[in-house]
Structure 1
Amino acid sequence: MFRQTLIVVRPGTRTDRSGSTVDDWSPQAVTRIPVTRVSVQPNQQAEQVGATRTVVTTGLRVLSAPGTTPDVRAADRVEYAGLTYQVVGEVARWPDPTNSTRVHHVEFTMTRVTG
């Protein structure tokens, strides 16, 4: 069940013209983190048909194997099956039912919007 792999893509940072620190998604600035032992499952699909374009939203739920705690953050992007998704919301770290000081597994959702 936990046989899928994905790549977490984390931005670097840079200073913009006003002196603020902002995310840098350029290829040379990002960090790519391989994550194994996950289960990726369908979560939501939606389609909005408009006069000039159709917007398609695809959501997936990711669960890590028990005893694993992959390094995934709300601001990350994720590459899975050749497509890039955005992590949605905070990453849930579920406590171990027999030892509340440990994480049992991690869950998060990710979404891709096209159109």
Structure 2
Amino acid sequence: MLFTQIVTVVRPATVTDEYGNRTPDWTAATRATVSGVNVQPQGGGSEDTDDRQITVTDWRLYTPRGMDLDLRESDRIEAGGMTLQVTGKVARWPAPGGGVHHIEADLKEVD
């Protein structure tokens, strides 16, 4: 029963600001629903109390064997009522004989 979750991959549009920099535009983001994945807590959380109280929880997304996912480090994942940021590169594990065996992506929820 591991790969039963449904998530939404949220990909921002990009716009060019007045200085010529390309920046993400989350108001015009595209959404793609993906089923058959697993999102689990990863490690512990941390708190930053310098200016305000926040809790940061790390998560990890896994796909089953043979499932590649169009996921980029600039995307977000909506899962279980949370919005999670992809942190770092998406790991695509190679399959013997070629292709992708499965992927893993580190995610971070900032509350």
Common fold by TM > 0.5: yes
In the alignment, which residue of structure 2 is the partner of 1:35?
A: 34
Q: Deviations over 1:44-94 (max 9, x none)?
A: 332326375322111111110111101110010110101101001000001
In the alignment, which residue of structure 1 is the partner of 2:71?
A: 72
What runs of 5+ residues in structure 1 fail to find an aligned partner? none
In the alignment, which residue of structure 1 is the partner of 2:46?
A: 47
CA distance in 2: counterparts of 1:104 and 1:57, whole angstroms: 30
> How big is the alpha-carbon RMSD for the aligned residues of Structure 1 and Structure 2?
1.5
Contact 1:4-1:39 at 8 Å conserved across structures: yes
In the alignment, which residue of structure 2 is the partner of 1:103?
A: 100
CA distance in 1: counterparts of 2:82 and 2:92, whole angstroms: 25
CA distance in 1: counterparts of 2:57 and 2:40, whole angstroms: 11
Matched residue pairs, number?
110
**Structure 1 residues 33 and 54: CA distance shift in structure 2, 3 A:** same
In the alignment, which residue of structure 1 is the partner of 2:82?
A: 83
- The runs of at least 4 consecutive aligned structure 1 residues that moved more than 6 Å come to none
Q: Aligned letter for 2:8?
A: I
SS state at 1:47 partner: strand
SS state at 1:41 partner: strand
Q: Aligned letter for 2:14?
A: T
What runs of 5+ residues in structure 2 fail to find an aligned partner? none
TM-score, normalisation: structure 2: 0.90
Q: Does 1:62 align with 2:32?
A: no
TM-score, normalisation: structure 1: 0.87
